[in-house]
Structure 1
Amino acid sequence: MENVETFFSKIQSGNLEAVKAFIEDQPELIHTTDARGFTPLILASYFDKNDLAKALIDKKAPVDARDAMGNTALIGVAFKDNQEVAKYLLNHGADINEKNNHGVTPLIFASMYDKANMVKFLLDKGADKTLRDHEGKTALQHAESEGFEGVISYLL
Structure 2
Amino acid sequence: MRDEQGSTALHIASISNQTNMIELLLSNGADINSQGKDGFTALHFAASIDGKLSTLDVLLAHGADVGIQDDNGSTALSIAVGDNSLDMVEALLAGGADMKVQDNAGWTALHIAASSDFKYVAEELLAPGAGVDIRNGNGQTALHMAVN
Bin the TM-score by the shorter chain: 0.7 to 0.9
Q: Structure 1 runs of 4+ off > 6 angstroms?
A: none
| 1:63 Cα deviation after fit | 0.2
The aligned residue for residue 18 of structure 2 is 49
Indicate yes or no: 2:56 matched with 1:104.
no
Answer with 98-107 or 45-54: which moved more.
45-54
The aligned residue for residue 18 of structure 1 is none
Instruction: Verify the 8 A CA contact 1:79 1:115 in the aligned structure 2.
Output: no
| 1:116 Cα deviation after fit | 0.9
Q: What pairs up with 1:72-83 in 2 under 5 angstroms?
A: 72-81=41-50, 82-83=52-53
Q: What CA deviation, in whole Å up to 9, does each residue of 1:80-121 have, x standing for no partner?
A: 242222222222221111100110001011011111110011
| 1:126 Cα deviation after fit | 1.3
Instruction: Verify the 8 A CA contact 1:50 1:85 in the aligned structure 2.
Output: yes
Higher-helix-fraction structure: 1
Distance in 1 separating the partners of 2:27 and 2:120: 34
Instruction: Verify the 8 A CA contact 2:8 2:36 in the aligned structure 1.
Output: yes
Q: TM-score, normalising length from structure 2?
A: 0.80
Distance in 1 separating the partners of 2:29 and 2:43: 15
Unmatched 5+ residue regions in structure 2?
127-148
Instruction: Verify the 8 A CA contact 1:129 1:139 in the aligned structure 2.
Output: yes
- 1:60 is aligned, of 7, 17, 29, to 29
- 2:90 is aligned, of 101, 106, 120, to 120
The alignment of Structure 1 onto Structure 2 pairs a total of residues equal to 125
> Once the two structures are aligned, what percentage of the paired residues are identical?
34
Distance in 1 separating the partners of 2:26 and 2:123: 33
Q: Give the root-mean-square deviation of aligned CA atoms.
A: 1.1
Write the letter of the residue equivalent to 1:37.
Answer: G
Distance in 2 separating the partners of 1:147 and 1:54: 36
Write the letter of the residue equivalent to 1:65.
Answer: S
Answer with 78-87 or 127-136: which moved more.
78-87
The aligned residue for residue 6 of structure 2 is 37
- 2:106 is aligned, of 136, 145, 151, to 136
